[in-house]
Structure 1
């Protein structure tokens, strides 16, 4: 659901233009490294995220910049949609990692609970979810998630 909910509004409507990030821009995921050294290296395909948490952060950043190709590439094959259209009216504003379990180089699965804040056509909202991740062909991928009340 993490990414299903983030992408739920698939109908194209008038909206904001996703931010253009340079390698030196602050990374949208909230870590202190610049985008090029943080999520940008995963988006560019240079590396795969080494932990479930870093994959979650990079997927959040992909929603920020509307990188549907990266989102599909990092979605588990059993739950991946055929295509993904991102709502241009969604503006993701911040990510907070609430908790993680497993998901390191020593695990085959892990979870990340997070809060992602957004504006949709000027209205503020928050997505609070517990997401499941697994390794597929050696790389971390998003499987599914449940909303946290």
Structure 2
């Protein structure tokens, strides 16, 4: 992704340009809500920005290092629900990834906490699975087209 191009859509699927969506968070501005932080973290995974991921991970649960070198391609994100109550937040999402010739998904119920005016990722309950889209299903890449005319041909 060419982050210098202001017309490039944000990887988080918001339909906004990266410069108006996740880039401010990646440059250090505090995310406004748990969903905004989760979307910016997804974009950081897409862009292999381990530094940002570690910086937005709560100190109580943060790993000492994060290697994204062998991370799969993450073409689309689906936010299922998001809530915020006081200093706690929850986001339920499904992220799709390309695994060789096939597709998979990671689904997570994430917990967030706000400290010092900033939201942090605390932990998540995850599950993974193989995705087998049908020819007439929506393509998991997020294009909005049918699978048979999009990624099935690739």
**Given the two structures, how large is their TM-score scaled by the length of structure 2?**
0.77
CA contact 1:130–1:148 (8 Å) conserved in 2: no
1:21-32 counterparts in 2 under 5 A? 21=3, 22-32=5-15
Structure 1 residue 51 corresponds to structure 2 residue 33? yes
The aligned counterpart of 1:111 is 90
Does the residue aligned with 1:78 lie in a helix, a strand or coil?
coil
- Give the distance between the partners of 1:81 and 1:128, measured in 2 at CA: 20
Structure 2: 5+ residue runs without aligned partners?
129-154
- Give the distance between the partners of 1:122 and 1:69, measured in 2 at CA: 29
Deviates more, 1:48-57 or 1:86-95: 86-95
1:1-149 counterparts in 2 under 5 A? 19-21=1-3, 22-45=5-28, 47-102=29-84, 107-147=86-126
- Give the distance between the partners of 2:69 and 2:83, measured in 1 at CA: 30
After the TM superposition, list the runs of 4 or more consecutive aligned residues in structure 1 that deviate by more than 3 angstroms.
Answer: none
Structure 1: 5+ residue runs without aligned partners?
1-18
Per-residue deviation at 1:89? 4.7
- Give the distance between the partners of 2:71 and 2:61, measured in 1 at CA: 25
Count how many residue pairs are aligned between Structure 1 and Structure 2: 127
Per-residue deviation at 1:41? 1.1
- Give the distance between the partners of 1:148 and 1:64, measured in 2 at CA: 19
Does the residue aligned with 1:140 lie in a helix, a strand or coil?
strand
Larger Rg: 2
CA contact 2:30–2:117 (8 Å) conserved in 1: no
- Give the distance between the partners of 2:115 and 2:67, measured in 1 at CA: 24
**Given the two structures, how large is their TM-score scaled by the length of structure 1?**
0.79
